[in-house]
């Protein structure tokens, strides 16, 4: 058996003349929580749809659970769970009715036990008779996750599962993802625009306009990026003025306000040295780059 839950080689997707995914190769280890990152429109959903057998690639090959993504799409779909960006359940049905409906579609034999397990693990028991339309965003997202897990998928694809969800609910959701990856060996491929969530993944791929910029461990992306960062405690008025001046003079440098400090980052140490010399009163100190600086730096 292949060690990889997902193994794609040179996958390309064109819509007309528009190359949306370009010669993409990725391997996702079984049991990993794999973050699939990239700015809006960079081709993440398109790639996921090809891996799930929902969309034919223009060229390239791929295996998902050791099945061919072009020829075995039906079997792939029966063994994976896919939580799309949009809430896809029935708003007028209750939580339990939604789960029962999904279970019947999958023709699951021990449905009551499976529903009880999901209600318990996702702490949905108190909400089981509430209509989906009356749930808040965080609870809707748990219900979506429960419905994707009902048939015990071997891989779970989650497309921006926590967009608009509050930090506590997002944390609980992520704790649960790690729990199922560890306890059940489920492979999870998740897209997110939240940097704190990217840091929670075991492995990452980062794409831009359909091209792969990085794939590897989560900790490996910082040294790979070669981004260098400095921070200064200067006054707020000065920060605004310096940000616009640095932005104008040094387009290759990223500036940001974090924790009431001015941060500058770039891959070019010479340019950063020039800034340190130009603004000696700012007393910049070197710090580890943040994930945000790394991701922005890699595409600039």
Ligand X SMILES: Nc1ncnc2c1ncn2[C@@H]1O[C@H](COP(=O)(O)OP(=O)(O)OP(=O)(O)O)[C@@H](O)[C@H]1O
* Beta carbons within 10 angstroms of residue 234's beta carbon: 17
Q: Which stretch, 38-46, 119-127, 168-176, 265-273, contacts ligand X (CB under 6 A)? A: 38-46
* Residue 185 contacts ligand X per CB under 6 A: no
Q: Which residues pair with 231 in a beta bridge?
A: 263, 285
Of 55 and 108, which has the nearer Cβ to ligand X? 55
Q: Which of 2, 9, 10, 15 binds ligand X (CB under 6 A)?
A: 15
Distance CA 282, CA 277 (A): 10
CA atoms within 13 A on the CB side of 258: 15
From the list 55, 28, 16, the residue with the least C-alpha distance to 190 is 28
Between 40 and 259, name the residue whose CB sits nearer to ligand X: 40
Instruction: Tell me the C-alpha distance between 198 and 205, whole Å.
Output: 10
With CB under 6 A as the contact rule, which of the stretches 33-41, 125-133, 136-144, 181-189 interacts with ligand X?
33-41
Query: Is there binding between residue 140 and ligand X (CB under 6 A)?
Result: no
The tokens 């057998």 sit on which residue? 53
E strand segments, 57-180: 59-64, 67-68, 80-83, 155-159
- Compare residues 47 and 229 and give the one whose CB is closer to ligand X: 47
Alpha-carbon distance of 200 to 193, in angstroms, equals 13
Least distance between ligand X and beta carbon 183 (Å): 29
For the bound state, the minimum distance from the C-beta of residue 15 to ligand X, rounded and expressed in Å, comes to 4
162 part of the interface to ligand X, by CB under 6 A:
no
CB 165 within 8 Å of CB 197: no
Q: How far is the CB of 225 from ligand X (least distance, A)?
A: 20
Look up tokens 């990452």; give the residue: 204
In the chain, how many H helices and how many E strands?
Answer: 11, 14
Nearest approach, Cβ of residue 159 and ligand X (Å): 7
Residue span binding ligand X (CB under 6 A) among the ranges 39-47, 221-229, 234-242, 243-251? 39-47
20 lines the binding site for ligand X (CB under 6 A)? yes
Phi, psi of 17 (to 5 degrees): -90, -5
Q: How far is CA 244 from the centre of its chain?
A: 31
User: Is residue 161 part of the contact set for ligand X (CB under 6 A)?
Assistant: no
38 lines the binding site for ligand X (CB under 6 A): yes
Which of 43, 57, 60, 289 contacts ligand X by CB under 6 A? 43
Exactly one of 32, 45, 73, 192 binds ligand X (CB under 6 A); that residue is: 45
Residue 221 or 271 having the CB closest to ligand X: 221
Is 215 in a helix, a strand, or coil? strand
DSSP 20-38: EEEEEEEEEETT-EEEEE-
Among 1, 40, 168, 281, binds ligand X (CB under 6 A): 40
Closer residue to ligand X, CB minimum distance, 44 or 200:
44
Nearer to ligand X, 43 or 57 (CB): 43
Asked if 56 interacts with ligand X (CB under 6 A), we say: no
The SS3 call for residue 223 is: helix
Positions in the binding site for ligand X (CB under 6 A): 15, 20, 38, 40-46
């Amino acid at each position: 058996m292949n060690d990889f839950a997902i193994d794609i080689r040179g996958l390309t997707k064109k819509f007309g003349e528009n190359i949306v995914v370009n010669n993409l190769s990725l391997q996702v280890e079984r049991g990993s929580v794999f973050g699939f990152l990239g700015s809006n429109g960079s081709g993440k959903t398109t790639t996921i749809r090809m891996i799930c057998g929902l969309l034919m690639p223009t060229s390239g090959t791929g295996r998902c659970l050791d099945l061919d993504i072009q020829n075995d799409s039906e079997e792939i779909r029966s063994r994976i769970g896919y939580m799309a960006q949009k809430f896809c359940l029935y708003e007028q049905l209750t939580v339990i009715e939604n789960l029962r409906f999904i279970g019947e579609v999958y023709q699951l034999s021990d449905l009551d036990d499976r529903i009880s397990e999901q209600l318990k693990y996702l702490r949905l028991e108190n909400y089981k008779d509430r209509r989906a339309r009356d749930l808040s965003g965080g609870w809707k997202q748990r219900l979506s996750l429960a419905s994707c897990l009902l048939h015990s998928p071997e891989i779970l694809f989650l497309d921006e599962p926590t967009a608009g969800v509050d930090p506590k609910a997002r944390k609980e959701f992520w704790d649960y993802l790690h729990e199922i990856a560890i306890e059940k060996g489920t492979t999870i491929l998740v897209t997110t625009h939240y940097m704190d969530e990217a840091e929670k993944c075991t492995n990452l791929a980062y794409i831009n306009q359909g091209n792969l910029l990085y794939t590897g461990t989560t900790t490996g992306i910082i040294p790979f990026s070669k981004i260098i960062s400095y921070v200064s405690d200067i006054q707020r008025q000065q920060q605004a003025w310096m940000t616009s001046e640095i932005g104008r003079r040094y387009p290759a440098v990223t500036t940001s306000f974090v924790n009431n400090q001015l941060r500058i980052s770039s891959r070019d140490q010479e340019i950063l040295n020039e800034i340190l010399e130009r603004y000696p009163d700012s007393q910049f100190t070197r710090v580890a780059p943040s994930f945000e600086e790394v991701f922005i730096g890699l595409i600039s």
